[in-house]
Each structure stands twice: as structure tokens, then as C-alpha cells.
Amino acid sequence: MSIQPPNEVFDPYERLEALGLKLDTRKLRAEWFHATRRSGDLLFTSGQVAHNASGPLYRGRLGAELTVEQGQESAQLAMLNVLSLVHQSTGDLRLWRAFKISVAVSATPDFAEIGEVVNGASLLLVNVFGPIFGAHLRTGHSNVALAGGSAVEVEAIFQARN
Amino acid sequence: MSIQPPNEVFDPYERLEALGLKLDTRKLRAEWFHATRRSGDLLFTSGQVAHNASGPLYRGRLGAELTVEQGQESAQLAMLNVLSLVHQSTGDLRLWRAFKISVAVSATPDFAEIGEVVNGASLLLVNVFGPIFGAHLRTGHSNVALAGGSAVEVEAIFQARN
Amino acid sequence: MSIQPPNEVFDPYERLEALGLKLDTRKLRAEWFHATRRSGDLLFTSGQVAHNASGPLYRGRLGAELTVEQGQESAQLAMLNVLSLVHQSTGDLRLWRAFKISVAVSATPDFAEIGEVVNGASLLLVNVFGPIFGAHLRTGHSNVALAGGSAVEVEAIFQARN
């Protein structure tokens, strides 16, 4: 019988540090947009792409300019930006568990490995929140093109732990 | 005056049998993914494509390799897989009513009959749950490509009946 | 210090009139579809495209047949149709605040200004509901093609104000 590690083992902040990933602490552009909004026990987020202080990363399409590995890293970084939104707007990632992610991948018509790219976002959630609080619903779509030429966009819903 | 049949007439299991459709009872792949997750009175599902025990069905794009009829059947089978998720994870389809579906269709740029394809999923809901519990919100999108080359992906939200 | 105008200043109906925009009061096609559905404090809507009494407007793709300005107006009109749904089904736009929009844009692979097009929908919400009740979460996607050849489809979630 395999026993899963208790969720308490997974402190999101320690896990991010162990993975060498940093949350974005720059002030989020607000204007008309909310970063996150809560209803009931769910926290919805806006869609995020992979970017750092210098601008968007990984522009292009899967199946053409980008490899599957680059797509996965793009999905991971977009997911990391979603976590930054949650951290900045609610103050504590430990209040939340993953609930659902929707991942849009910019791709060519013959690219069939959408699921592999989406795994980049899924794996980050599981690595950071652990196998129970990190498990989630998901959908993956392909797009002709994404805002600013980005390769991957991730939006997510989190659920309050208690 | 047209009187709609009472919803009690529509037992989802009897209706599926009458339509010659079988729920998938194979153990669902779990890992990091949830099949369904509940918040409040809503039950969210992961995206599903058309597949049977032998693998994916109806690979290709509408407007090229596939006809509208094949697209509709693909949407119906993907919707059936969503119902299988709900049945397996909650134990009883009769607890739920349809709430919202999002259908992604793999298509060529000149294909304008997305709505016709989405009808394959919508009709199944109405046929199985009846005109009241089966009515739903919907959105239909087109994709350049879907996971594994599938033609249609369906995700859905159900609402508790009481 | 900049002081934001109180939300009471923004009566959605007065604002729509000031903008020269009219809600669609034609009877909505119902059949199997709901125009809006509520769960908890959220009101979900079906996806809407830009159309008037004569049929769909702005058919085509961004990056080919349509300019960014036409895309923005298409997004605004689709958003207006969403507001019509909310008005018709709940009786009063003043009960609601914007919560989240998902905008699908029909585009060519080299079109990178999805965000500019989505602004057409975002700006209408802010203009009609004001900066606080109009602020929202958003995601923008591109599609190979949309139902009936439409350029933009908008779906939205609103939240009860109290």
C-alpha cells in the first residue's frame, strides 16, 4: 500500500525556493482588471502568460518556432505568474488548493502534443502544493495566436482549503 | 398550449440505454487530475475528448478530414465521457442538472458551422436529462489542433438539482 | 491624490444611452439554451457574438479581413449582447458587477494584438458600470474560426453587488 505524504509537508514557499523559482513581486498592473476575484470558496484569476521584468518570453508557436520543452517551460512560467497573482492579492498561498486550470497553447495545425505542454503547468502545481492540494481539473486548448505572440496562456481557479 | 413533459420522465440511465449509449466504466486515470470537483452547488469537470477502449476516435479537423456529422458524433461521444466522469465520481447522474458546456472544435479557418458541431453535445444533454434539467449555457470555440489530434473537446459544469 | 468617482454615478442604463448603445430587446432564442444561469452570487452567460436584427456583423478574421478597430467594435457589440442577456433575464443591470470575461477572437497566426481587440469588451464594461463595479478578470484567446464566421465571441460572469 502506498502512502501519500501528508500535505503539510508541502509548504508552497519552501517548494518554490527548492525549485529555484521566484514569485513576481512587481506591482501588478491593475487599471480595469482584477488579478484575482473571489466568489464563495473559489478564487478566479485572469489569464497569464510567461514574462519576466524584460517582457514576454517564449514567443512563437508549438510545432514551428518552439519545441515541446520550451512550451512546457512557458506553461510553467505562466503558471508561476498565476501563483504570483494569488500571493499578491491574498497574501498567502497556503490558504488555497488548486481547483482547475485552462491552458491555451499557440500551435500549428499538425501539433498534437498539447497535453505534454499543459503538463508544464500541471506539474508545477503538484510540485508546489503537493499531490492532494495540487491535484486539479484541467482543459487544454490550442490557439492560432496569443496576446503579444506568447506561446502559452494559463488561467486558474483555486479553492479555499477550509 | 404545449405542455412540456415533466422532468421525472427523464431518467438519465434509461435515456442512455434507449439511445444505445454506454457510460465508460473503466477506471479513470487520476494522477494529478481530478475528474470532477465541486464548489457550492456546481460540479466542474475536466475536458474530455471522444475515445473508447481502443483509443481516441475522430482525429482530424472539421472543414478538412471530418464532416459535420462526424463532428457532431465526436461532440456527442465527448459529452458522453463527461457524463461518465460525473457518474463515476458522484455515483448518480440524477443528482445533477446541466449548467454550462464549453466545446472546442478543431477546424480549418473557413469552417463556419461550429454551432452545428456543438449541437452534438447539446442534444445529448437534452435527450438524457430532458428539456428542463438538460437546458444549459454554452460556448463554442475552434482550435487549431486538440490534444492527440482529437476533433472535439467538451468540458462542462453541472448544478445540484436541489 | 486622485479620488475615483463613486460608483453610484454610474447608472448602467444612463451610461448606455450616453454612449448611444441600445440593449437588444428582441425575444431571445431559448430552446435548449439558457441565456444566463445563477449559482451562489455568480451569474454565468452563454457566449455572444456581434449581431443585430439583420444578422451577424463583422465576419472575418483579425489580421486579414478585419482591422483592429473593427475587432474592437465587434468585441464591444458582443459585450453589449451579453448585457442584453443579463438585462432580459434578471430585469436590472444595477444588481450586478462585472466579474470575469472570456473573449475569443478569430485571427490569423501572425496577429499579436488580441489584447487590443479584447479591450473593446473591457472598456464597455468600465464605461457602463464604472471603474469599480466594471473592473473584471479577463482572458483572451484566438480562434481559427468562430460560429457563423463571427470575428469575436464574448462570454462573461457577473457577481451580485450585495
Rounded Cα distance, B35 and B22, in Å: 18
User: Could you give the C-alpha distances from A157 to A99, B45, B118, in angstroms and in order?
Assistant: 5, 13, 25
- For A11, phi then psi, to 5°, come to -85, 115
Q: Confirm if B150 and B58 have CB atoms less than 8 A apart.
A: yes
**What residues of chain A lie within 8 A of the CB of B104, using their CB?**
139, 141
In total, the C-beta contacts within 8 angstroms joining chain A to chain B are 85
pLDDT at position A86, please? 96
The reply to whether C18 falls in a domain is: no
**What residues of chain B lie within 8 A of the CB of A131, using their CB?**
32
Percentage with pLDDT > 70 across chain C: 91
User: Is the per-residue pLDDT at A6 higher than 60?
Assistant: no
Q: How far is C23 from chain A (nearest CA, A)?
A: 23
The reply to whether B88 falls in a domain is: yes
ipTM summary value: 0.88
Cβ-proximal residues to A8 (8 Å cutoff; 6+ apart), any chain: none
Q: Which chain A residue has its CA at the smallest distance from B108's CA?
A: A109
The reply to whether C26 falls in a domain is: no
Confidence of residue C40 (pLDDT cuts 50, 70, 90): very high
Rounded Cα distance, B47 and B102, in Å: 9
Q: How far is C122 from chain B (nearest CA, A)?
A: 19
The reply to whether A27 falls in a domain is: no
- For B144, phi then psi, to 5°, come to -65, -40
Chain B CB within 8 Å of residue A148 CB: no
Q: How far is C2 from chain A (nearest CA, A)?
A: 13
**What residues of chain C lie within 8 A of the CB of B159, using their CB?**
37, 39
pLDDT for B148-160, tens place per residue? 778 899 999 999 9
pLDDT for B19-62, tens place per residue? 999 998 776 655 678 889 999 999 999 999 888 777 778 888 99
Cβ-proximal residues to A68 (8 Å cutoff; 6+ apart), any chain: A62, A113, A116, A117
Mean pLDDT of C6-34: 81
The boundaries of the domain holding residue C102 are 36-160
Mean pLDDT of C139-151: 81
Domain count, chain A: 1
- Grid coordinates representing B28 are 479513470
Q: How far is C106 from chain B (nearest CA, A)?
A: 9
pLDDT at position B3, please? 47
**What residues of chain A lie within 8 A of the CB of B153, using their CB?**
139, 141
Q: Do B145 and A99 touch (CB under 8 A)?
A: no
- Which of A46, A144, A148 is the closest to C109 by Cβ? A144
Q: Do A47 and C138 touch (CB under 8 A)?
A: yes
Rounded Cα distance, B95 and B43, in Å: 11
* 3-state SS, residue C39: strand
The reply to whether B16 falls in a domain is: no
Rounded Cα distance, C16 and C19, in Å: 5
pLDDT at position A2, please? 45
Rounded Cα distance, B133 and B7, in Å: 7
Tell me the average pLDDT of chain A: 88
pLDDT at position B57, please? 84
The reply to whether B5 falls in a domain is: no
Q: How far is A4 from chain C (nearest CA, A)?
A: 34
Percentage with pLDDT > 90 across chain B: 65
pLDDT for B73-82, tens place per residue? 999 999 999 9
Mean pLDDT of C121-126: 96
Q: Which chain B residue has its CA at the smallest distance from C62's CA?
A: B109
For residue C37, the cross-strand partners are C44
Left (φ > 0), alpha (ψ -120 to 50) or beta: where does A42 sit? beta
The reply to whether B122 falls in a domain is: yes
Chain C CB within 8 Å of residue A102 CB: yes
Q: Do B144 and A111 touch (CB under 8 A)?
A: yes
pLDDT for B92-137, tens place per residue? 999 999 999 999 999 988 888 999 999 999 999 999 999 999 999 9
> Best-predicted range by mean pLDDT among A87-101, B148-162, C145-159?
A87-101
Q: Do B39 and A125 touch (CB under 8 A)?
A: no
Chain A CB within 8 Å of residue B40 CB: yes
Q: Cell 451579453 maps to which residue?
A: C82
User: Is the per-residue pLDDT at B161 higher than 60?
Assistant: yes
The reply to whether A16 falls in a domain is: no
Residue C69's CATH number: 3.30.1330.40
DSSP letter string, A21-80: -----SPPP-TTB-SEEEETTEEEE--EE-EETTEE-SBS-BTTTB-HHHHHHHHHHHHH
